[in-house]
Amino acid sequence: MSKNKSKNSVVEWIDYRLPIFTFLNHELNEYPTPKNLNYFWNFGSLAGITLVVMIITGIVLSMNYTAHVDYAFDSVERIMRDVNHGWLLRYIHMNGASFFFIVVYIHIFRGLYYGSYKAPREILWILGVLILLLMMATAFMGYVLPWGQMSFWGATVITNLFSAVPLVGESIVTWLWGGFSVDNPTLNRFFSLHYLLPFLIVGLVILHLVALHRFGSNNPIGIDAKGKQDTIPFHPYYTIKDLFGLSVFATIFAAAVFFFPNFMGHPDNYIPANAMQTPAHIVPEWYFLPFYAILRAIPDKLGGVLFMFGAIAVLFILPWLDKSPIRSSQFRPIYKLFFWILVFDCILLGYLGAKPAEGIYVLLSRVATGYYFFHFIILLPLLPNIEKTRPLPISISKPILSSSSFSTAAAVREKK
Amino acid sequence: MYKNLTFKIYFFIIFLCFYKTSLAASTNIEYPSQDWSFSGIFGTFDKASAQRGFQVYREVCSGCHGMRLLSYRHLSGLGYNNEELKALSAQFEITDGPNDNGEPFVRPGRPSDTFVSPYPNEQAARAANGGAYPPDLSLIVKARADGANYLHALLSGYKDAPKDFNVPEGMYYNTYYPGKLIGMPQPIYEDGVEYADGTKATELQMSKDVTTFLAWASEPEMENRKRLGVTVISFLIVFSILAYFSMKQIWAPIKKKV
């Protein structure tokens, strides 16, 4: 409360003993932020807000949900038909999962494009990858809860992956299931963990923010802020920008919830789970499809599982794989090209994950999987040796001063 | 820069649409698309058609297919009033119990009762239908890809099998059923029901009506949902515009320093 000392004596009394107001002022109000962030920097706050929306709708849904194989499906339908605005809560929660992944995937690719994972933000990045892992576990278990056909068979396929572990595989699967097939104990523990994990995510998000605020946001040109002239206070500049981003996001989200609520789902999940009848194609939710494609691309079961988890694991060591000291790909012409190839590769993998594992799709999956790992393990460490980077600007505000354009990013672009 | 970004986002959305279409296409046969009253973001259920469809369900489908997720009271959504629903549900016999002597007893239905199922359990249903299980219809439109068009195509898809196509005993040839062999005999024939409102009961009319009814049964919240959606999205668009200009105004001094 250094600058704008509160007139309110109660606030002052509390703040003297518990400096919560000083803290909020420091982290949310005067927090110095690079002045040149573009709209891709909106996705962090969007992800946080989506998490809160998911937790709130989830808590209310769980008040009406019954975690039992005989009642789960019907209790969800009761929410849809008889609970006041239950359909709204469920459709927000169901589509919210998809939108959470859309937002987080954009957030991650933003980090890749602008080199946000590089020193000194390695731990910030690693915390983010941990959040992604927990999100995946939470989403997977949440999809099981309505106990439709895809819930049941998806759970069966994914839990069975652990049987690939040598020697103890079968025991691990039995332990996960709490029995000898996916059944009531499985549903109960998945519900329990689905309720628990989001709160662990909240914990990690707080650490993610602590790590972020240590050095502040990266920015589109990827050089550190060199002083007051390069930064602006978070409030009101980025609070209003985040609010605008949020309102656009909410509009698109609402369009999905109200007009196309089942667009991203699978019709089979409106058929109650039946252990005696396997669906023609078992496909996971769209946000798992790239990983599913990697899993199926490897002819060996254990190998497939290792590569699938490896696709995430490689992200943990990314800050040390990419040896280039230049963060932003605006100054790395070759990396920029390969970045877009990686984006295309991931979308291709997603497409292949939805296709049956046969014919040309198998070959394409292998090539795309190969490229994914080639990009991270071979290309990134070697690239600095051959890449001629563009000269960096002197500071964040320098290119603005030297250009007539209104937009910082445009100014940077013109410099090329 | 902004033009470029807008273009990229636009391109991405177009791409996503194709992406989803290709996902859907991988598992489905194309069904002839019908002009449904409930399609589109302003679509509503044609109540008269849905009521006729309910009559078709009652007189034809319910012989084999249950709708266990619906109660008679839900039919108020089709425009029936309380008195009509009481009279309607009273026509069904419900096994309730136990009574004071510990015995199950039969009583007339109430609006709060769920639709009476034709069979007590799956085994009984299979035994009565040559091993095939007539699926519950409560969610059938949502539980099939392109559900409404699929149902309509299926109901009108009974044709004579080609000469070289072997149709086993108890199976029927249907061009729209996966594998073309279905355990359900053709359910809908011209004048199969006599419509209470005097509409001519052609095969096409009946299949359209019953599909409309089943679409309503799958998504009884749809009209509410779309109506609320129009309100919410209108608000959000106005709010976005206000937020955008507020942002421009707040950022003006920063941009001006250039």
Q: Report, as an integer, the average pLDDT of B25-33.
A: 68
- Higher-scoring residue by pLDDT: A328, B163: A328
C-alpha gyration radius of chain B: 25
Among this protein's residues, is A6 annotated catalytic? Answer: no
List own/partner pairs for A249-252 with CB under 8 A and 24 or more apart.
Answer: A249/A42, A249/A46, A249/A99, A249/A103, A250/B236, A251/B233, A251/B236, A251/B237, A251/B240
Q: Identify whether the C-beta of residue A95 lies closer than 8 Å to the C-beta of residue B229.
A: no
Among this protein's residues, is A230 annotated catalytic? Answer: no
- Residue A184, Cβ neighbours under 10 Å: how many? 14
> Which of A77, A81, A110, A235 would best serve as a mutation to test chain B binding (most B beta carbons within 10 A)?
A81
pTM (global) more than 0.95: no
Domain layout of chain A by residue ranges: 39-217+237-284
Among this protein's residues, is A213 annotated catalytic? Answer: yes
Say how many CB pairs under 8 Å bridge A and B.
112
% of chain B residues with pLDDT over 90: 75
Tens digit of pLDDT at every position of chain A (416 positions): 444 566 789 999 999 999 999 999 999 999 999 999 999 999 999 999 999 999 999 999 999 999 999 999 999 999 999 999 999 999 999 999 999 999 999 999 999 999 999 999 999 999 999 999 999 999 999 999 999 999 999 999 999 999 999 999 999 999 999 999 999 999 999 999 999 999 999 999 999 999 999 999 999 999 999 888 899 999 999 999 999 999 999 999 999 999 999 999 999 999 999 999 999 889 999 999 999 999 999 999 999 999 999 999 999 999 999 999 999 999 999 999 999 999 999 999 999 999 988 889 999 999 999 999 999 999 999 999 999 999 999 888 876 444 444 444 444 444 44
For B60, phi then psi, to 5°, come to -115, -65
Compute the distance between CA of residue B221 and CA of residue A78 in angstroms, rounded to an integer.
12
Which ipTM score applies to this complex?
0.89
- Judged by CB atoms closer than 8 Å, whether chains meet at A255 and B240 is answered as no
- Residue A79, Cβ neighbours under 10 Å: how many? 21
Compute the distance between CA of residue A349 and CA of residue A307 in angstroms, rounded to an integer.
13
Closest CA to B184 of B146, B137, B117: B137
Contacts of A288 (CB under 8 A, 6+ apart): A136, A139, A140, A353
Q: Measuring CA to CA, how many Å separate A400 from each of A406, B148, B230?
A: 8, 57, 42
CATH architecture of A39-217+237-284: Up-down Bundle (1.20)
Closest CA to A127 of A402, A315, A271: A315
With 0-12 / 13-18 / 19 or more C-beta atoms within 10 angstroms meaning exposed / middle / buried, residue A288 is buried
Smallest Cα distance from A267 to chain B, Å: 4
> Would the CA dihedral through A227, A231, A234, A236 be positive or negative?
positive
Q: Measuring CA to CA, how many Å separate A101 from each of A47, A106, A287?
A: 9, 8, 7
- Judged by CB atoms closer than 8 Å, whether chains meet at A236 and B250 is answered as yes
Q: Identify whether the C-beta of residue A161 lies closer than 8 Å to the C-beta of residue A305.
A: yes
pLDDT tops 50 at residue B82:
yes
Smallest Cα distance from B258 to chain A, Å: 6
Residue for token pair 């049964």: B217
Domains of chain B: residue spans and CATH = 34-70+132-235 (1.10.760.10), 71-113 (no CATH)
| Both structure tokens of B229 | 């959606």
Compute the distance between CA of residue A6 and CA of residue A24 in angstroms, rounded to an integer.
13
User: Which residues from A are below 8 Å from B74, CB to CB?
Assistant: 81
